[in-house]
Amino acid sequence: MFDQDRLTVVYGPEDPKFDILLVCVLKDEMYFLLEFLAHYRALGGEHFVFLDNASTDGTTNFLTRQPDVSVVNAGLRYSEPVIINNARYKPVQQRAINLWRSLLHQRFQGRLGTVNVDADEFLQLPPGQTLRDLTGKLDGVQAQ
């Protein structure tokens, strides 16, 4: 079984201690990264954890020059099948990317929240609102 111990931090803090973390799985997303980081920094993102799926367009080099970034390697490709073995259910095979997102949230925890984002999608909040405001509104909200 593939577990969070197989996520290797290759750049940045291994256990970032920030209120709000953003996690992102990407491959060859350099085109978006300048605007992406500017957007989420403006919303109050304090640290970014990127699982880089063997980018070849300069993404990795760019990210390893950012002071508020950790870069993670998983040692396999996002489309590779992995078996999820949960004691409550029979083992299930799925693509690695689905497992990575779960493992990233288990391993990297912001004190107020951890937000899963995609490099080519930009969360839009009401004018003047930040990620910190969003976590305050979600605090105490029960899942339905």
Tokens of 126: 């009401």
d(CA 129, CA 106): 27
Which among 8, 65, 10, 79 has a CA at the least distance from the CA of 33? 65
Report residue 135's pLDDT band, with 50, 70 and 90 as the boundaries: confident
> DSSP H helical segments within 59-109, as ranges?
59-63, 96-107
Q: What is the pLDDT of residues 87-116, one digit of tens each?
A: 666 656 666 777 778 788 888 898 988 899
Query: Burial, 11: exposed, middle or buried (Cβ in 10 Å; 0-12, 13-18, 19+)?
Result: middle
Instruction: Specify whether the CB–CB gap between 77 and 53 falls below 8 A.
Output: yes
Instruction: Specify whether the CB–CB gap between 28 and 50 falls below 8 A.
Output: no
Is the pLDDT higher at 143 or at 110?
110
Sign of the Cα torsion 28, 32, 63, 16 reads: negative
Q: What is the pLDDT of residues 13-72, one digit of tens each?
A: 998 999 999 999 999 999 999 999 999 999 999 999 999 999 999 999 999 999 999 999
